[in-house]
Amino acid sequence: MLNHTLFVGDLHLSADRPDILNAFYQFLDQISAECDALYILGDLFEVWVGDDIAEPFAIELAARLKQFSTNTPLYFIHGNRDFLLGRQYAALAGMTLLPEVHRLNLYGQTTVLLHGDSLCTLDKAYQRFRWFRNQPWTKFIYNHLPKNQRVSIATKLRSKSQQSNQQKSNTIMDVEQTAVNALMDKTDVDLMIHGHTHRPFIHHLKNERQRIVVGDWYDQGSVLTITPDEISLTALPFR
Ligand code: MN
């Protein structure tokens, strides 16, 4: 059935979780050639250190995604875990890289897509890191480090972020409404779709606006389906 568009995010794929990978493969097989497009809204991978150090499971995934993309347009927005995913891997996987904020017209509805971490503006420490990380010179220097150094930096950053996230309150880890409103105003949209917070929900906002959060794929999958007349956010149990 054409005339629907699918959104997923926060799969956090890693070699340690073949169950998630298999669930995603089944999902791809089921939807192949039946939808208008699939959007991956970031954190497809638990961690991404560089296209040249992609693990074997990621190479296999690229082949499956490439196959999928021959029938269905496939789009990717970077998450905070895989912000280093580059053109090389995207090309291998047949994914079109989108900017971190992407506006589109979805069956007549003005829509903005993003990963969602940029909306967590109460987390000042993270936003400072995010600014630093996004500087062209940071990326340039990082990309010119030897592979083992890049792996060790990524490992350190990950354990540091896990430690500090445990100490952060639920409020700090969620999006801030003023940031949501500001972006919806700036992009002039009625619908916002993002992930990152792992709190799947359809929020009905003022002025008939909506903010939809796709869920993570930790214990089950989460898929948002949008048709010209309907929105559904469903859980996808792992078999
Ligand atoms: Mn995230």
State the CATH number of the domain containing residue 226: 3.60.21.10
Q: How far is the CA of 42 from the centre of ligand 1 (A)?
A: 7
Exposed e or buried b for every residue in 31-62, given b needs 16+ CB within 10 A? bbeebeebbbbbbbbbbbbbbeebeebbeebb
What percent of the chain is modeled with pLDDT above 70? 100
Q: How far is the CA of 157 from the centre of ligand 1 (A)?
A: 14
Q: How far is the CA of 150 from the centre of ligand 1 (A)?
A: 20
Checking if the pLDDT of 82 tops 70, the result is: yes
Q: Which residues contact 108 (CB under 8 A, 6 or more apart)?
A: 228
Number of domains in the chain: 1
Answer whether residue 30 is part of any domain.
yes
Residue 34 structural domain: 5-121+174-237
Contact 38, 75 (CB under 8 A): yes
Q: Please, what is the average pLDDT of the chain?
A: 94
pTM of the model: 0.94
Answer whether residue 165 is part of any domain.
no
Answer whether residue 145 is part of any domain.
no
